[in-house]
Amino acid sequence: KFSEKHANFIVNLGGAAAQDVKKLINLAKKSVKNKFKVKLEEEIQYLDH
């Protein structure tokens, strides 16, 4: 879920994998674009493991 203190943080409540977090990010970006016509840019840096 997104943090209630800061929307730029995602809180894993226990069972989420990296793929789940990426899906949440994409859902948020699409929702904002559809509702407000604004394209969000990620500040995150993805690392390969």
Tens-place pLDDT, residues 3-20:
999 988 999 999 999 999
Flag whether pLDDT at 30 surpasses 70.
yes
Average pLDDT over residues 28-36: 98
The yes-or-no verdict on residue 49 having pLDDT over 80 is no
**Side-chain half-sphere exposure of 8, counting CA atoms within 13 A:** 5
| Long-range contacts of 41-47, Cβ-Cβ distance < 8 Å, separation of 24 or more | 43/8
pTM: 0.79
Residue 38 corresponds to which tokens in the numbers above? 């604004």
Separation CA 12–CA 21 (nearest Å): 8
